[in-house]
Amino acid sequence: MPFVSIRITREGNTAEQKAQVIREVTETLQRVLDKAPEKTHIVIEEVDTDNWGYAGETTTELRRKSAGN
């Protein structure tokens, strides 16, 4: 039973976009690894940009700085 966890920042991703990701990841696992779609689980976790960071700063702060340029 495949389980795929996808984490993205919460920024207005639509239900339709997330459904497409789930559908296409499921199709890829079926096509490439011959995994049954009815046994494939996909979880999308959306994380606030205040809770996601890199380069020592939050994504919120990095984007704020980038917008100021």
Distance CA 6, CA 42 (A): 8
CA-to-CA dists, residue 22 to 6, 29, 33, 40, 62, angstroms: 10, 11, 16, 10, 29
- Catalytic residue annotation: 2
